[in-house]
Structure 1
Amino acid sequence: MTTTTEGRPWLRVFDDRTAMGQAAADDVANELRTRLAQQDQVRMIFAAAPSQSDMLDALRAADGIDWSRVTAFHMDEYLGLPEGAPERFSAWLRAALFDHLPFAAVHLIEPGDDPERTAAEYAALLAEAPIDLVCLGIGQNGHLAFNDPPVADLDDPLDVKVVDLDDACRQQQVDDECFPTFEDVPERAVTLTIPRLLAADRLFCVVPGAAKRTAVERALTAPISAADPATALRTHPDVTLYLDRESAPPATRPDGEVGR
């Protein structure tokens, strides 16, 4: 499907999650190869969520990428979980990607005893050089990273901050089978802010599943505001949104084509 509506991400719609994930991984891999041919290093940010699994599995298998010149960050982390807890996003990303490839560096968010200090230190690491790429998703409540509607700020002066998680966000973690019960999900987290994510040069946004369809439709059509944080993607000049048949709004069709 091809349209010319301004202020919308490029859309790629596929029949299933596997095709969607492979296409997103191919695009990310091609971008990495191109940039590594032109610059000494690439700095990129990854989301940790089951929605990213298909893309990360395929990216892990991509060839022709000099991962020793790629520095990785992740975009959020729970507070209150014990060190080494498998529910931590750092643990999830290590198992899904980081431990499988020879990255130049992997900067994990380790909240420790002073999460405000952790946030400031992580912001400083991010600010050392431009961020080239972000691989992200959209939450069921429209969040980007852990910028939920109650705490999202599209003009946030901070790059990384401590936030309270809303109930919809916490319930999604149970629905995604990351935690057994709602009560097990932490109430607070450290997150990169929306301006920090949008400061990257190119964004690859992977959003499968019927539970995300409303969030996707609002991201594409609702007024740009903190009430729907994912609408902020429409303010970035280079975002590609990868959908499967279940997450795609009715106006799109699964043909794999790119359009706005």
Structure 2
Amino acid sequence: MEIVPAPTRDAAVALTAKLIESRLRDKPNLVLGLATGRTMEEVYARLVASGVSFARCTTFNLDEYVGLPPEDPNSYAAYMRHHLFDHVDIDPARINLPDGMADDLSVAAADYERRIAGAGGIDLQLLGIGEAGHIGFNEPLSALRSRTRDKILTPVTRAQNAGMFGGDPDAVPKRALTMGVETILESRELVLLASGRAKASVVAKAVEGPLTARISASAIQLHTHCKVILDDEAASDLEGLAYYREVCRNEEKWDPYRSLL
């Protein structure tokens, strides 16, 4: 795992977008795992502006609310269309999201796992981190060997996501279909992006604290090809921050991105 402190939110977003763009240019048929959230909107805007082709890319989103049809403006399907898919040359047949409207969610979850396997696995998975410490919607006490399944959302998560539902946490669906922790860890590369002071404490617990099901994001410590990209505020509680900065200053692989660090 690599901790990559950026000086500002804009620099952290730009670095994340440039890494994804680089992977797409190196491997046009990349299998890309996608995330949602306000910070990701900025990443997608930069990818759109870059002009990189998605024509041969296959995508899998981390999660989808249960009970929201794809046409609902608050669904993650609608989010992805609005912020990325409608603005790039991706083949709609290569877009995959969990089916939160399925009559049998366990069948839909198993089908999602089969689709990921059928695509050859995920090359690069983009992640955020929730204030409850989750990746995807793997809420506290999610098994670290969990697969795609439906989960009940915590009050913390529903409050965090209320902004997209008119500010009303009660309007946020109570359940979501999400990739499991082990599903995420099977991706060949992980990039977790976090910004803002509100994420500082949980980021520190996830990357420097013990491995625990109480904070599913702590499972990324097990991944051998994982980058955690943080702005100055999200990195502010890290005990090893000075060292992480020193590593980035001295690693030649970061030379192409030096202006952002």
TM-score range relative to shorter protein = 0.7 to 0.9
TM-score under structure 1 normalisation?
A: 0.86
Unpaired runs of 5+ residues, structure 1, are 1-8
CA shift, 1:111, in A, is 2.0
- Give, in whole Å, the separation in 1 of the partners of 2:69 and 2:223: 36
- Give, in whole Å, the separation in 2 of the partners of 1:143 and 1:182: 18
Residue 108 of structure 1 corresponds to which residue in structure 2?
Answer: 97
Residue 49 of structure 2 corresponds to which residue in structure 1?
Answer: 61
- Give, in whole Å, the separation in 1 of the partners of 2:46 and 2:235: 21
Secondary structure at the aligned position of 1:67 is classed as coil
My pick for the range that moved more, 111-120 or 210-219, is 111-120
Instruction: Pick one of 1, 11, 15 that aligns with 1:19.
Output: 11
CA shift, 1:82, in A, is 4.5
Amino acid at match of 1:244: D
Map Cα deviations across residues 188-247 of structure 1 (whole Å, 9 max, x no partner): 110000111111111111111111111100011211110111111110011111111111
Instruction: Pick one of 170, 176, 196 that aligns with 2:183.
Output: 196
Unpaired runs of 5+ residues, structure 2, are 252-261
Residue 127 of structure 2 corresponds to which residue in structure 1?
Answer: 136
Higher relative contact order (CA 8 A, sep 6+): 1
My pick for the range that moved more, 192-201 or 27-36, is 27-36
CA shift, 1:14, in A, is 2.0
**Contact kept? 1:45, 1:75, Cα under 8 Å:** yes
Residue 108 of structure 2 corresponds to which residue in structure 1?
Answer: 118
TM-score under structure 2 normalisation?
A: 0.86
State the identity %.
Answer: 29
- Gap change, CA 1:255 and 1:235, over 3 Å in 2: closer
Amino acid at match of 2:176: A
Residue 99 of structure 1 corresponds to which residue in structure 2?
Answer: 86
CA shift, 1:168, in A, is 1.3
Amino acid at match of 1:243: L
Residue 258 of structure 1 corresponds to which residue in structure 2?
Answer: 248
Q: Pick the structure with more helix per residue.
A: 2
Q: Does structure 1 residue 225 correspond to structure 2 residue 225?
A: no
Map Cα deviations across residues 6-53 of structure 1 (whole Å, 9 max, x no partner): xxx2122223211111111111111222233xxxx2111100111212
Amino acid at match of 1:178: M
My pick for the range that moved more, 228-237 or 165-174, is 165-174
**Contact kept? 2:132, 2:157, Cα under 8 Å:** yes
Amino acid at match of 1:171: A
Residue 164 of structure 2 corresponds to which residue in structure 1?
Answer: 178
CA shift, 1:255, in A, is 6.5
Map Cα deviations across residues 102-161 of structure 1 (whole Å, 9 max, x no partner): 1241113232233222212211111101211111111111101000103x11122x3x11
Amino acid at match of 2:95: V
